[in-house]
Structure 1
């Protein structure tokens, strides 16, 4: 077998593989000889079928099997022998001429095929000792815990009917019918609907117009749907609602005591406070980690400059671009509405894709050299988390991960990345800084590039928003969505790795 490099341009490689016809024929004869004692051919005793007859009957099918095995197995072996890693699955091309293919199956001509691929560039790891990050820490106060408990307890608050007019904080039970241009719209009607005035559950301006109404009264309320309302047919439209008030009820008081904790299913107020404090600390901890991660990624981005495989960048860019256009379509907006052009947006998100891929490769190399591994138990927990997100579809989700190439990698990648970040945090210079809640959550340009992982798919397509986290791209994470005022969400796309 001959392996001939026909292209070595940047990261692109093309390899021509030639297997002489005599070698293919020898392999076929060996395969037929192995099968000789097993096949049953009418007119011949077992094991006595002449090789010429076997070749006539089964030669082509055996040769076809050999061809399939070679193109399936040899590429990986060739790359290993060359000490190369392919960025994507190598493309394999061979003759499409039927006459030529027939000659190959008859061992009349050499079998040739070509491998085309991009190599992952060699990455020389730099010392991490120079990386310095500031870890912002928020001390959770007793008042904040109590405030959060009261918010939770709102769902358990009781109400008593009253005769007077509705006030802010009262619960109004009503029938309503919404109309746009005098025509009722889907989802705009309900009977015996409960709404607490001031809860902010309804369209802006709706709840305030319920103040002063009494049970039995009717009113037509006029509101305007927000321009970014999810339903495009209602966004920015003026609507009227025919209201009939069925009941007005005043809220009972809430006291922080063991009785309230029991109503919420917890044995005591102290235990409830412990749980709520842990939840708040966890929420702040997630934001803190994303900010720290962003600082690490930014510094890694400065440390490593190398060409990225175009195939990986193209795939990541397509993921991003598809999400961008989907979000624009759903919001009924254009690039002009987002203060940019399609050309500028493409350029920005191309940079984002390149950064993601580069950082993904760097984190992968760091993890590999450090011996970072994802355990089977961790994979099972990640799969279980996926199943919980789709109740009733557990079988379909399991089948997807079992039968879809690369699906398991999408579970492994974020776990691997977080473990690499943990490894880096154990080596770099970390300075803790106590900050307020507002400082931690600040959405200014300096810190706007670190956000909650759950928000990472939403970023603003602004002209100056070209930074983005790279590790997630290497595994094909979904792209950020365009929202002009979503600076804190833009962070997520940039500061969270795969």
Structure 2
């Protein structure tokens, strides 16, 4: 194998490789001999088929197979001999592959860049510490009570108003025909909740129990059912009763109704969860500032091939969001050109940070052990009660899904490693200051119920 260097600029490499025709012919002949031992051709015993006949019948397919394997093997040999670490799949172009002549092809690639990490001792960050107050716990338990409202029949009023829970039968029609999924009986709907399509709930305000009413609506353009997107529809409604939603008192009875032994157990669980939330917000702030520091203070060539791949993944999501009219408001206001430029820069940042963190992990032998991975999968499985075993088996049999669990674990381990060399100071703040400084709009103490 002869290798001719054609390009060596930064992380870009290009080579022209020549494989002698004798080597190619020998591989083809060897493969045809293998075929001859297995193939059955009338008039010939296995292994006795003339080479000329084998070439006539199988020469083209064998030649293509030898070409493919030779390109792969030669490229891999090039990487090993030159100690090359490709950033993405190399581009291989065939130059010449004629009978009796040498095989010539080119290999173009970008390399994983060499990274010299900036001095992390110059990274200074504040770790925000916020103690959970009694008010925090009280606010969280009140929200839990709000989420567990109880409905009771309303007897002192017969006309609906916003906020009522109404019990209705309804049938939906499009072009005077019932459509699938548009019918229900004894359906409970909270007026003003926004859980139905726009205009539906508003037309149920101010009508009396026992009334029947036709409601005309238009389905949104981004409605999930393609047959109903943007379509006009009519719903025939029968208002059967009104119920009042009452927020339960946070007491012993309420605590037991949602699975706790006592009010104290509920408050302890809520306090513990809020504390975890506060710690998470504090850590996310530290992580965000560290990633900004790493991106700004480490200079190296970022492989454009990796950026292009990352951008393509992002852009597919943007296109899907556009088609479903679910693009974020700030993105919807941007031109396609500005939007593409914006997400290109995000793609480059992601690739750059990924390379830095991976390099730190490799150089310092940081990895995720089987036990750590198993614990993470168990935590994920616990989110699906009754299906834990199925979830565990899914991850064990799906390498790509397993990597999605492993990657953030390794990222956190690298972040912790880098923090050991950084200057971290603690600062006590109120819960309000914590939310403001971390950009959190609110922090619930979500206890699963």
Q: 1:63 to 1:250 in 2, by over 3 A?
A: closer
- Taking structure 1 as reference, are residues 40 and 332 closer, same or farther at Cα in structure 2, changes over 3 Å only? closer
Correspondence for 1:118: 110
Equivalents in 1 of 2:404, 2:392: separation in Å? 18
Matched, 1:19 2:16: no
Higher-RCO chain (CA-CA 8 Å, sequence separation at least 6): 2
What's the offset of the Cα at 1:136?
Answer: 3.1
Q: Which of these residues, 348, 356, 375, is aligned with residue 350 of structure 2?
A: 356
After TM superposition, give the deviation of residue 312 of structure 1 in Å. 0.9
> Does the CA-based 8 Å contact 2:282-2:438 persist in structure 1?
no
Equivalent-residue separation in structure 1 for 2:306 and 2:373 (angstroms): 24
Cα gap change, 1:332/1:383 in structure 2, threshold over 3 Å: closer, same or farther? closer
In structure 1, what is the Cα distance between the partners aligned to 2:346 and 2:94? Answer: 36
- Equivalent positions of 1:333-344 (< 5 A) are 338-344=332-338
Q: How does 1:39-54 map to 2 (within 5 A)?
A: none
The 5-angstrom pairing of residues 86-97 of structure 1 reads 86-94=86-94
1:177 and 1:138 mapped to 2: Cα distance?
52
**By how many angstroms is 1:298 displaced?**
0.8
| Aligned counterparts of 1:227 and 1:399: Cα–Cα separation in 2 | 40
Secondary structure of the residue aligned to 1:120 is: coil
Question: Is there any run of 5+ residues in structure 2 with no aligned partner, and where?
Answer: 443-449
Alignment of 1:177-196 (within 5 A): 190-196=184-190
What SS does the aligned partner of 2:101 have?
A: coil
RMSD of aligned residue pairs (Cα, Å): 5.0
Task: State the alpha-carbon separation in 1 of the partners of residues 83 and 25 from structure 2.
Answer: 30
Q: State the partner residue of 1:328.
A: 322
TM-score, normalising length from structure 2?
A: 0.74
User: What TM-score results when the alignment is normalised by the length of structure 1?
Assistant: 0.68
Q: Does 1:84 align with 2:84?
A: yes
Q: 1:110 to 1:158 in 2, by over 3 A?
A: same
CA displacement at 1:205 relative to structure 2: 8.2
Q: Secondary structure at the match of 1:246?
A: strand
Match of 2:156 among 145, 164, 171: 164
CA deviations on 1:48-87 (whole Å, 9 max, x unpaired) are x89x978986996887766544433443342233232111
Q: Is the 8 A contact 1:197 1:208 kept in 2?
A: yes
Contact persistence 2:173–2:235 (CA under 8 A): yes
Q: 1:273 aligns with which of 246, 252, 267?
A: 267
C-alpha distance in structure 1 between counterparts of 2:348 and 2:263, whole Å: 51
Number of matched residues?
432
Q: In 2 relative to 1, CA 287–205 (structure 1 residues): closer, same or farther, beyond 3 Å?
A: farther
How many Å apart are 1:251 and its aligned residue? 4.7
CA distance in 2, matches of 1:399, 1:13: 38
Other structure's SS at 2:156 match: coil
Q: Partners of 1:31 and 1:219 in 2: how far apart? A: 80
Equivalent residues in 2 for 1:408-487, closer than 5 Å: 409-442=403-436
Instruction: Supply the distance in 1 between the matched residues of 2:137 and 2:156 (Cα, whole angstroms).
Output: 34
Matched, 1:146 2:143: no
Gaps of 5+ in 1: 453-498
Find the residue that maps to 1:139 and give its secondary structure: coil
